[in-house]
């Protein structure tokens, strides 16, 4: 049995970390969905230079460790005179990193929509972006929900990278409590429990959404 007095005595710190982890995850989720969708469309759109930008983004970012991308924002930008607090730097790094994976997931979803859908939409006079928005993406989204769920769960767990740069998240406060109390194992068990409080409902939610969309076709 873990020592619950640690949890009770440091409840405030755990909660601070928990809320920051939620905040960072939600911001990174929204940001990476936006950037990811744009990059996916860049890779597919019938415009060569955009294809290159999209491909370069994905290949460059997803092949670098997350921690290094966070360092770019935390250490690299200040060298150029742009100073960010550690929470912002960490969340930006997380966003940029996750977007590369989401771009690939969305691209696969778009490509799995039959070609005739784009042809029908374009031949009715819709622009490429209108066809994408009204016809292709709604169909692609349904296809990509399961792999997207994986990305979101990874995102929440990856937000622990903020701990490394004092980003005020769960991991950071876990370290703090541990160094104050000299307790290691029990402190981190509670950290893990807080992550599970986030990720398990997320998992179940994605599953439920998948089943609902499967019914509505």
Partner 1 sequence: MIHFRQVNKHYGSFHVLKDINLSIEQGEVVVIIGPSGSGKSTLVRCINRLETITSGELIVDGVKVNDKNVDINKLRRNIGMVFQHFNLYPHKTVLQNITLAPIKVLGVSEKEAKETAMYYLEKVGIPDKANAYPAELSGGQQQRVAIARGLAMKPKIMLFDEPTSALDPETIGEVLDVMKTLATEGMTMVVVTHEMGFAREVADRIVFMDKGQILEEASPGEFFAHPREERARLFLSRILSH
Summarize as ranges the residues that interact with partner 1 (CB under 8 A): 114, 116-117, 119-127, 130, 134-135, 138-139, 142, 217
The residue among 34 and 120 lying less far from partner 1, judged by its C-beta, is: 120
Cβ atoms of 20 and 167 closer than 8 Å? yes
The residue among 49 and 116 lying less far from partner 1, judged by its C-beta, is: 116
| C-alpha to C-alpha distance for 115 and 28, rounded to whole angstroms | 32
| Total residues belonging to the chain | 217
CB of 45 vs partner 1, minimal distance in Å:
15
The residue among 71 and 133 lying less far from partner 1, judged by its C-beta, is: 133
The residue among 139 and 154 lying less far from partner 1, judged by its C-beta, is: 139
Question: Where do we find the tokens 């997380």?
Answer: 94
| C-alpha to C-alpha distance for 147 and 41, rounded to whole angstroms | 18
Long-range contacts of 77-84 (CB under 8 A, 24+ apart): none
CB of 116 vs partner 1, minimal distance in Å:
4
CB of 155 vs partner 1, minimal distance in Å:
27
| Half-sphere exposure of residue 122: CA atoms within 13 angstroms, side-chain side | 9
| C-alpha to C-alpha distance for 121 and 132, rounded to whole angstroms | 9
């Amino acid at each position: 049995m873990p020592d619950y007095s640690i949890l009770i005595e440091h409840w405030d710190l755990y909660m601070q970390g928990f809320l920051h982890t939620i905040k960072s995850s939600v911001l990174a989720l929204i940001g990476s969905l936006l950037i990811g969708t744009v990059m996916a469309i860049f890779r597919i759109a019938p415009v060569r230079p955009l294809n290159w930008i999209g491909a370069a983004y994905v290949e460059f970012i997803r092949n670098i460790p997350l921690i290094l991308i966070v360092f770019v924002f935390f250490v690299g930008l200040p060298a150029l005179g742009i100073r960010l607090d550690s929470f912002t730097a960490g969340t930006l790094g997380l966003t940029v990193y996750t977007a590369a994976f989401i771009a690939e997931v969305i691209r696969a979803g778009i490509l799995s929509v039959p070609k005739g859908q784009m042809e029908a939409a374009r031949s009715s006079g819709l622009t490429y972006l209108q066809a994408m928005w009204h016809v292709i993406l709604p169909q692609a989204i349904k296809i990509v929900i399961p792999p997207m769920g994986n990305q979101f769960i990874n995102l929440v767990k990856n937000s622990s990278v903020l701990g490394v740069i004092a980003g005020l998240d769960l991991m950071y406060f876990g370290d703090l409590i541990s160094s104050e109390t000299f307790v290691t194992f029990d402190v981190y068990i509670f950290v893990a429990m807080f992550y599970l409080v986030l990720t398990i409902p997320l998992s179940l939610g994605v599953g439920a959404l998948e089943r609902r969309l499967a019914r509505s076709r």
